[in-house]
Amino acid sequence: MKAKKLVGKLHLWLGLTSGLVVFIVSLTGAIFVFQDEIRDLTEPWRKVPVQATAPVLPSRLQAAALASHPGIAASTTWVTYFGAERSATVFFTDKAGNPIQVYLNPYTGQVLREQNLRTYFFSIVQEIHMTLLLPEAVAKWVVGGAVLIFVVMLLTGLVLWWPKRRQERKQRFTIKWGARWRRINYDLHNVLGFYAASIGLVLALTGLFMIFPSVLTAIAYVTNGGRTYPQDLITAKVDTLRPVAAAPAPLSDVVYQAVRRRSPQAEMILLGPAGNGKEPAYCWAYRKALHYYNRDDYAFHPVSGQELQASFHATKSAGTQLTDMNYDIHTGQILGLGGKIVAFLASLISASLPVTGTIIWWGRRNKAKKPRKLQTA
């Protein structure tokens, strides 16, 4: 009993400390879960009619996207092909520091839409979810700390939920809707918290892994039984002292064509910027559009376009394949629409827990104060 009382105190004060952050992060997470489905319904420029011809090369997309932004180098852009029926995108930062995303028809290079992501709804939701609009160095510890506390809250909540007597078990699984509102609030906190605990724990941990990527490396290491697999690691280096011949075509085209040959089944291809020529140019080929689990990773020389390293999904270790799932697990899409619905509901319940918990604490606090007032009177 003494131990459970200590757990209760820990649960209370950690909840009051992290509650606001958990509420905001969980609510924005719930909104973001179905962002692709909502955007497909409200943004017609995300889809294009399928054509028999091959998509145009990245350099043509870059030129079209940057036509109204003179002075922006093509080597600083990110280019993404999303599949046969989806528009391609070119992402870059303009001279005013705004993140710009341009949607183009991948078969013609025609510009369909340009968005300033600084004022775009889902970008703002994502930024709030990840950083609370705080500087990145601060957000890492504020959001990461609150999510870590939430993990502890879920575990201590399960300890507090566990019934003392067998006859109490049924009560802990159901909400007594006919009771007074305070009792309903209590049941909402305890019963919904129990049902959502396991999924909430998965969502919280996968979110933490994004904030602290080094933890994913440790998970892969443990999953692999302490073994390391060199083929999993993109560790390519560019020898800047050795002169090389320039690529025979725009670097983005050379990289894209090489990846198309090497990963012909990929629906989605993401080309990173070439940078300043001192670091490799990276490219990722995803088996399914808008899913980030099954992917091949490439590194190319930023001047010659020579392939420096490749890591294929089929040859990756079990640990690396598991960590590659992290985003898809976090959003629920690893299990398709059903997984997204579960993640959405678990996020909503997680957002409700600080609210119902605070109401329980406030009610008990006021109840404890009343006898004292009567005594002084």
pLDDT tens-digit readout, 140-162: 999 999 999 999 999 999 888 88
Lowest mean per-residue pLDDT among 218-222, 290-294, 356-360 = 218-222
**CB count in 10 Å sphere of residue 20:** 13
Predicted local confidence at residue 372, as pLDDT:
55
User: Quick check: 373 pLDDT over 80?
Assistant: no
- In this prediction, residues 27-44 reach a mean pLDDT of 97
32 neighbors 126 (Cβ within 8 angstroms):
yes
User: What is the pairing mode between strands 99-104 and 281-286?
Assistant: unpaired
346 domain residue, yes or no: yes
301 domain residue, yes or no: no
375 domain residue, yes or no: no
User: Quick check: 376 pLDDT over 60?
Assistant: no
The pLDDT-based confidence of 370 (bands split at 50, 70, 90) is low
pLDDT tens-digit readout, 329-353: 999 999 999 999 999 999 999 999 9
9 Cβ contact list (under 8 Å, min separation 6) = none
Task: Give the structural domain span for 29.
Answer: 1-48+107-228+317-365
90 domain residue, yes or no: no
93 domain residue, yes or no: no
Predicted local confidence at residue 100, as pLDDT:
98
Lowest mean per-residue pLDDT among 5-9, 98-102, 153-157 = 5-9
Lowest mean per-residue pLDDT among 35-39, 47-51, 186-190 = 186-190
Q: How many domains does the chain have?
A: 1
User: What is the pairing mode between strands 295-300 and 268-271?
Assistant: unpaired
206 domain residue, yes or no: yes
Residue 307's φ and ψ, nearest 5 degrees, are -70, 125
- pLDDT above 90 covers a percentage of the chain that reads 77
The pLDDT-based confidence of 167 (bands split at 50, 70, 90) is low
264 domain residue, yes or no: no
Q: What does pLDDT average to over the chain?
A: 92
* CA-closest candidate to residue 69, choices 96, 46, 87: 96
117 domain residue, yes or no: yes
User: Quick check: 211 pLDDT over 90?
Assistant: yes
Predicted local confidence at residue 375, as pLDDT:
46
pLDDT tens-digit readout, 40-86: 999 999 999 999 999 999 999 999 999 999 999 999 999 999 999 99
